[in-house]
Amino acid sequence: MRYLEDLVIGEKITTPSLNVTESDILAFAKLYDPQPMHLDLDAAARGPFGGLIASGWHTVSLAMRLIVDARPFGGGPVLGLGTDEVRWPKPVRPGHAIHVEIEILSVTPSRSKPDFGVVRIHVMARNQHGDTVLTMLPSLWVPRRRAHTGDQT
């Protein structure tokens, strides 16, 4: 497990890729974002994106999966406090292979909860062509080492 004290501003982590299929897009849309551009091939073809695209929230979910699988905290939980500036510059389409690039922007011990701290990261998801399909700035709740080991560092 990696604790707050182990994280370094400027550290970068790149995840492996995840392939997005048409059936993935349709299944997510059916459950959570049933709009024509995510759910209906014919309507999507006639729409503003010229074909089927993943919901932006599906893209965020894919990024979360990739982040969890990459284990940036050494297998410790990824506990989100909130996310700012969520952007979808380009859509995700069937056949895209998405990966995530994470950069640690800040590491701040909590004053009110000394056993934890807040880590702000920049998340950028890209497709196999290098196009950015998601950017966001999550703040994460990360345990401090002294909460688990008694170490007073």
Q: What is the CATH number of the domain that holds 133?
A: 3.10.129.10
- Quote the pTM value: 0.90
Q: What is the pLDDT of residues 62-84, one digit of tens each?
A: 999 999 999 888 877 788 999 99
Q: Give me the pLDDT at residue 152, please.
A: 47
Name the token pair of 31: 């459950």
Q: What is the pLDDT of residues 94-142, one digit of tens each?
A: 999 999 999 999 999 999 999 999 999 999 999 999 999 999 999 999 9
Domain of residue 60, residue span: 4-149
User: Contact, 18 vs 62, CB < 8 A?
Assistant: yes
| Domain total in the chain | 1
Distance CA 105, CA 91 (A): 26
DSSP result, 12-25? EEEPPPEE--HHHH
